[in-house]
Structure 1
Amino acid sequence: MALRPYALLPAQYDHRRLLATTVDAWGRALWLIGPEAAPDPGRYERFAARPRRHPYDALLVSVDGAGGAVREQHLYGLGLRVSRLEALPGGRLLLLGPGAPGQPDAQVHGRGGRRRHGFEPGRCVEFAMADRRHHLWFAYGDEGVYGDPLSSDGLVLRDGGGNHRWGYSPPPGVQHIDTVYALNVEDGTAWACSYPAFPLLEARTDGRTTLRRSPVRAPRGLAVHGDEAVLLGGGSRGAAARADRLHRLRLTADEAVPVEEARLTFPNGAPLTRYAKPVGRGGRLYLHGPTARQWFVLEV
């Protein structure tokens, strides 16, 4: 099974430094382009860079994956080293990363490109994803879960302003979230797989949750549509984890039942050995390889 091309950063930006990229809840591929910057060897993505001074201005480039329309938005006075970005309703943009002294690590910029407010998101953010209804989900790693009260729930729901609305609490007899490995967000619902037991957690914005047993350990990507789920990476039934293994599952009331396994490749048949953290949006799973300028998609 092969990915298909989804969105490509236009060639006129090839000489510019990329700070972060994602695919948002509306299906738009987003790239944040900064000023002259120094490469950051501490991050996996080869495009990663850190601005040489703060504050700085940046350019947001969006490409509509469905029609290819390209748009630009200028952002002003960024006070953090951006590692993640996420589009919010109303033309707002959430930026996350280490803030300059006295600056929070999450900042929201308005439609005009200027900062409106900021908040502290908690330590060790693994995922920060919004839906189209002013819901913002944060998922955390173990350093945050065990070291920061803001991160201790493992999976947290905030409103579009960054205010805490809900945190996950496991039912009796179920292990607490240690680290979230894969997250999928669609309108009103988040799906997560987390260490140590890797159940498939369905969490709704009204606080209802459902846990399903899953045979897949340590998946890296997750897509869900109806009663079907696809997990990318990880291993099952004692098999060693592989980055290109695709697990197709059928969802019941309390279990994710294996249906088939396949090998996922890039569109040209090249092996899917290295890729950045996938972005799960309902029945779609987006990912890019060593270059952050090209996004690919898998649809359930």
Structure 2
Amino acid sequence: MHTTLISATELKQLLDSATPVRVYDCSADLMNPGAGREQYQAEHIPGASHVSLDEHLSDKAHPDRASGGRHPLPSRERFAAWLGRSGLTSPATQVVVYDRQGANYCGRLWWMLKWCGHEAVAVLDGGWAAWVAAGGVAESGPGPAPPAEAPAYPLSPARAATANTTRLVQQMGSPDLTLLDARAAARFRGEVEPLDPVAGHIPGALNRPFTENLGPDGRFKPASALRVEFEQLLAGRDPASVVHHCGSGVSAIPNLLAMEVAGLGRTALYPGSWSEWCNTPGAPCARG
């Protein structure tokens, strides 16, 4: 079972075997909502299904959504219904997710599957570029249309922890809470803010841009290197106290994944992130 990363070579071997595998292409662009589907239709791993950040991994329409922010989590039940329609109906199926944006978007699906109790899910290390470099074949086109009705994915207890705004406000300043912000340094400092109404960061948060987890080849750095970097950043803080966030709960996931790859355990996510925090009356904001 692959639960964190999988190489392109390992994925090719899985697809050539009798192992049940579901592959999802999560390519996306925050500034161009249609770009991810266009990239998928141009080229994708054979058999992969396209996943939309806005349509499948977020829910702005229903009152039972599981978080706030710019990309609210759908309820687990609504997400499980979509997973079933996408063809995932068994916890035993190995899932592989990938994108073309440094695991920024496919990490969201990786985490959401853990949140629904599905442990057998891994991120394709290096994404689409690694698949091509390994000689992986491609197909094009819109992909199969999902059925209107299908059994929902069978939910089980969540294997991923979340934090909400109320808890973070109550725990601010506590040694039991370490906030880790994955946004670019200029956004963290509040020098620029292209997406949210307030610039800055949650007071006391540490900054680690999610891109720092990758090497020049687009793959995650070795586990030993990641461990050293996170331990230096945490400076003695307990890794179990870490709650990851970003702008809207998407680009925080590569940091969460990298800590798990580094052997530091599975840490928590604040899904609403800065976009929820900065819109919460009374929640303090900092700059610099």
TM-score (norm 2): 0.25
The structure with more helix, counted as a fraction of residues: 2
Q: Which has the higher contact order (CA 8 A, sep 6+)?
A: 2
TM-score (norm 1): 0.25
The structure with more strand, counted as a fraction of residues: 1
